[in-house]
Amino acid sequence: MNATITARLLALRSPQHASLSPDSARLLLTTTSVPVGATDEVTVASMIDIATGAEHPVPVMGEGDHSAVWAPDGVGLAWCTALPDGTAAIAVADRIDGERRVLEGTARATGTPEWSPDGTHLAVTARRGDVIDRTQPYRWTRPVAAFDGLGPLEDPPQLLLVEMATGATRWLSDDEWRWSTPRWSPDGTTLTASTSVDPEGRRSGSHLRILRLDGSAVPYDVPAGRAAVTAWLPDGRLAVLVAEPRTAPLGGAAVLFVVAPDGTHRIDIPHLFGDVYGDNPALLPELYENVLLSDGTGRLVVRVGSRGTMGVVRVHPDDPTSVDVIADGQRCCSPVAAVCDTVVFTTQSAEAPAEVAVRVDGAPERALTHFAAGLTAADVHRFTVEGEHGWPLDGWLLRPTGATETLPTVVMIHGGPQFTFGECFQIDAQALVAAGFAVLFTNPRGSTGYGDEFSFAVHGDWAHGPTRDVFAVLDHAIAEGWVDSDRLGVMGNSYGGYLSSWLVSTTRRFQAAVIENPVTDLVSMWSTSDIGATFFPAHFGGAPHEAIDRYREQSPLLRAHECITPCLFLVGADDKRCPPAQAWSMHRMLRLAGTPSEVLMLPNSSHEGSTYGPVTGRLAADDALVDWFTRWL
C-alpha cells in the first residue's frame, strides 16, 4: 500500500535544535523524523561544516541524545540524554569523539544546558521531584489543576547550577513558577531566565527574572508578555524582546528594550518578532528563545515579520535605524544562531518545509540542509482582497500542481485568534491538496502582523467581524472561478475550531467541517481552560458574570441546534487549553438535532497534539481529515 502524503512528509527530517560553534565553523544539529510505516520518531544528532555543508555524526552522542550545545572553548559540548530509568539528564564530553559523562545531579532536567562564559558551570532547568501520588486522595491549592502540555504543576522546573569540576549542583530558584531559558551575562556573574504559569493564576504570560549567582534578584523595568526573550551584549547591557507585552491589550506588537546601568530604553524596530503558525513538526523555527540573538560584536539579530511572512535582520542597539537584512522575501525565516558575521537561520514557505541556511557577510545565502529535496508540494497562489476599513486581507490558495479548474475547497482558519497564517508549511493542507482539494486560508481581523488596530479589532468580537473577513476572501476566490461554491468545507484548530463551529452554526455555506480542539461555550471555557481566567476577560471585557451577554451571544454551542453541516471533531484527550468537553458538548447537540457528527479522540495528545503529539495521532488526524471531506464534498 502506498504511503499517504502525511506519512511521507513526516519521514522528512525536521530540525529541532542547533548550536553554532564559537568560531562559526560547525553547527550541531538535532533532527527528528518518522520512517514510513513506523509510529516512533527517530532522533539524529549531527554536525554540519558551515563552509562545505558536509554533515557528519557526533560520535560521543548516542541514540535518542539531542539538543547539543558547544562549550565556550569550541571543543567540548553538553547535551540532553536519558538515565536508565528514562529520566532526562545532561551529559557532557571534552570533545565530539571523547568520553561522555552524565551529570547525575541533573536528573529530571527539562531544558537545554547553558554554559557559563568561562566553561566552569552549566545552568539548566530541572524538576525537584516533588510529585503527588495521584493514586491516593490529595489536596490542591492552585487555581487550575493542570496546564496544557506541561505535566505536573506541583513540580515546576527550577533553575539549577552545576559546577563542572566537581559535578556539584545547587538550586538558584525555589518557588512555584516554571523557570526556563537561562542566559549568562558576559562576566558570568548574572543569569536571566523566563518564568511562567503564575501559581496564583492572576498574571498571564512570561516574566523576566534576573538573578545573581547567590540567588538574589536584580531589579529591572520590563513588562511581562507572551514571551520574554533575552540576549546579553558584550558590554554587559541586556536586550529583552517582549512579545505581546501585558502593558497593552492582548495581541499588541512586540517591543524591544535594552536594560543598562542608566535605565531601561526602548528600541523601535519595524515589524518586530512576527509569528506565523505552521502545521509541521519542525520545532526549531517555532522556538521563541532564538528570536533575539547577540552576535558577540555588539549587534543584535532579530526576527521580524508582517502579513504572513517572517525575516531576519541585524541591528546595532545604538543605531537601530541602520538595518542589515539577513533574510526576507515571500517565506518565513527565523534566527537560529549568530557569531560575528555568520548568521544561521531556518527558512520555509507555504510550499516548502523547514530547512537550515546560513549567510556570511559578503556572500550570498546558502542552504545547509536539503531535507525536502525532490518534494513535489502544492502550487500556491497568493492574492489580496480589500476588507472593511481598507484593511488588506491576504489570501493563500493551495492547489494540486498544475490544476487550473474550479475545485472543491476547504477553508482553513488559524488559532489564536491573535496568530497568523502565511508562509509556514502546513502538512494537513498538503494532505488535502494531494487528495484533490484546494485549500484556502487568510488572516481575518485579530491576526497579528497587520498592526495593532487590526489585531485589537477581535476584542469583544470573535464572531461577526472575522466572519465577514473570511467571506470576503472566499467570495473573491469563488468569483475568480478558483473555488466551487457548492463544495465547500471549513476546518480549524483552537480559535480556528471556534470560528468553524460558529460558521456552520450560523450559515449554510459549508457542506462539511473538521473542527479540532474548539471553543464552543465561552462561559465554561472561562472556568475550565488553563488560561481561561486571564485570557477571556481580556478579550470579552470581564469574567462571565461581568459580560454575560457577550459570552452567550458569541457561543457557538447556543447556535449549534441550527447546524446542518456534517461535522467531525478532532479532540486531544489531554487538551487543557480547550478541554474535550467543548467538542463533546457540540457533538451531542448536533446528534440530537439529527446532524451527522463524529468525534476522533487522540490519546495522550494535548492542544497541539495533531502536530507535535504521538505519531499515531498525527497520522490518524490527517487520514480522518481527508476521509471526512472526501465523503461529504
**Is the model's pLDDT at 375 over the cut of 90?**
no
- The end-to-end CA distance of the chain, in Å, is 25
Output the pLDDT for position 65. 97
The string of pLDDT tens digits covering residues 8-53 is 999 999 999 999 999 999 999 999 999 999 999 999 999 999 999 9
Reported as half-sphere exposure (CB side, CA atoms, 13 A), residue 384 has a value of 8
Q: What are the phi and psi torsion angles at 121 (to 5°)?
A: -140, 160
User: What pLDDT does residue 156 have?
Assistant: 96
10 Å Cβ neighbour count for 134?
8
Rounded to the nearest 10°, the torsion over CA 493, 545, 555, 498 is: -10
**Closest-CA residue to 471 (of 492, 495, 442, 496):** 442
Q: What is the pLDDT of residue 556?
A: 98
For the stretch 124-151, pLDDT in tens is 999 999 999 999 999 999 999 999 999 7
pLDDT tens, residue by residue, 519-531: 999 999 999 999 9
The one-letter amino acid code at 34 reads: V
Averaged pLDDT score across all residues of the chain: 96
Query: What pLDDT score was predicted for residue 1?
Result: 43
Closest CA to 242 of 208, 219, 209: 208
Return the axis-axis angle of helices 464-479 and 495-506, rounded to nearest 10°. Answer: 80
| pLDDT at 630 (0 to 100) | 98
534: pLDDT strictly greater than 90: yes
pLDDT of residue 329: 96
Please say if the pLDDT value at position 88 is more than 80: yes
Return the CA Rg of the chain.
Answer: 24
113: pLDDT strictly greater than 60: yes
pTM (2 d.p.): 0.96
Average pLDDT over residues 282-311: 96
pLDDT at 579 over 50: yes
**For helices 427-434 and 615-632, angle between their N-to-C axes, nearest 10 degrees:** 40
Give me the helices (H) in 449-531, please. 452-456, 464-479, 495-506, 522-528
For the chain, give the percent of residues with pLDDT over 90: 97
Across 559-566, average pLDDT: 98
**What's the whole-number mean pLDDT along residues 365-370?**
97
How many Cβ atoms from other residues are within 10 Å of residue 574's Cβ? 18
How confident is residue 56, by pLDDT bands cut at 50, 70 and 90? very high
Q: Residue 152's pLDDT is what? A: 80
Structural domains of the chain ordered from first start: 379-632 (3.40.50.1820)
User: Average pLDDT, stretch 95-109?
Assistant: 95
